[in-house]
Copies of this chain bind each other. A is one copy, B any other.
């Protein structure tokens, strides 16, 4: 009989929130991934068209970490019709020494939300111009809010511009951002204006046709594209990727199969021009070299980030004495 820690979403919300500690945790996961020693198999993806659902499973082993996480992320898109969120999921943390289950994190996707936002902060920290006055966001969901909050941790801008397909949602998102970050936040009807007036833009949409056009690029701009995470998704005009001074991503193999490189490769973007973010952090590849450059970073989300945040969450839960123990 062993102790298995069970942490619910309510438990996790008590002691895990978006802050610079978490950004550090996720930054170390990027570094580890770039070291080449991480074992990260391709995402297991199951499409359930019958029930308008999909399930992804991600994992990664990071040498030196006590555990490795397996994360299951179901998305069932008819759920909102019955008052349930589309996205759910859990993480299982296994001992990296014995393979035994150490913890079950019934987080309903909360840890993913946090680590995804933290990854955006890592991208902004290493790639955005040194000074950002205005940040823009395309998309109006949970990640629109969290990505802006995360970016604000590393580039404390004073103004936020929001665009979404639904004007009401955009206004509501801008109000939430203004309230939580004490910044000026405005919803705009034209995504071109959002991009042209911002030094840092995050795209957070499930788009299958580009929502950000090459024409809108301007000197001194960084774009983080975090929406695409499935075959067929595409937020950034391939011409924008071809025109940028630098395109980076979290994992080339994922960006090519589920992220922005799907269309950019077809448009002729060369294979040798893609550093991974961890390589830029570790300075084995060059990131932004001048403030007036245009940089784009595609984040598809990695199992290494899940292992990093789950390991951190278990440690923090034990310290805070939160959770339920099951003998199994």
Interface positions of A (Cβ within 8 A of B): 4, 6, 8-10, 39, 41-48, 50-51, 53, 55, 57, 59, 61, 63, 68, 70, 72, 74-76, 79, 82, 84, 88, 90, 92, 94, 96-101, 104, 106, 108, 324, 326-328
Contacts of A75 in B (CB 8 A): 99
Known: A57-B57, A59-B46, A94-B55. A328 touches B99 (CB 8 A): no
**For the complex formed by this chain, how many copies does it contain in all?**
2
Contacts of A68 in B (CB 8 A): 55
Partner of A74, one of B51, B57, B79, B99: B99
Known: A61-B46, A106-B4. A100 touches B72 (CB 8 A): no
A104 to B98, CA, bound (A): 20
A38 to B39, CA, bound (A): 30
Taking the closest CB of chain B, its distance from the CB of A99, in whole angstroms, is: 3
Chain B CB count within 10 A is highest, among A42, A63, A72, A108, for: A72
Partner of A101, one of B44, B90, B99: B90
A90 to B76, CA, bound (A): 23
Known: A6-B326, A8-B327, A44-B57. A99 touches B76 (CB 8 A): yes
Contacts of A70 in B (CB 8 A): 55, 57, 72
If over half of A's interface residues share one DSSP class (helix, strand or loop), that class is named, otherwise mixed; here it is: strand
Partner of A99, one of B59, B88, B92: B88
- Report, nearest first, the 6 A-B pairs whose CB atoms are least far apart: A74-B99, A44-B44, A76-B99, A8-B328, A106-B328, A41-B46
Q: A10-B328, A101-B106 are in contact. List 15 more A-B contacts (CB 8 A).
A: A6-B6, A6-B326, A9-B328, A42-B44, A44-B44, A44-B59, A72-B92, A72-B94, A74-B100, A82-B98, A84-B100, A88-B98, A88-B99, A88-B100, A106-B326
Contact status B88-A76, CB under 8 Å: no
Taking the closest CB of chain B, its distance from the CB of A11, in whole angstroms, is: 9
Q: Closest B-chain residue to A64, C-beta based?
A: B50
A44 to B60, CA, bound (A): 11
Q: Closest B-chain residue to A73, C-beta based?
A: B99
Partner of A104, one of B46, B51, B94, B104: B104
Taking the closest CB of chain B, its distance from the CB of A120, in whole angstroms, is: 25
A98 to B52, CA, bound (A): 10
Contact status A326-B8, CB under 8 Å: yes
A82 to B97, CA, bound (A): 11
Contact status B328-A326, CB under 8 Å: no
Contacts of A42 in B (CB 8 A): 44
Taking the closest CB of chain B, its distance from the CB of A310, in whole angstroms, is: 14
A72 to B75, CA, bound (A): 20
Q: Closest B-chain residue to A40, C-beta based?
A: B46
Contact status A90-B92, CB under 8 Å: yes
A223 to B92, CA, bound (A): 37
9 examples of A-B residue contacts, CB within 8 angstroms: A53-B99, A57-B59, A72-B92, A72-B94, A76-B98, A84-B98, A84-B100, A90-B92, A92-B92
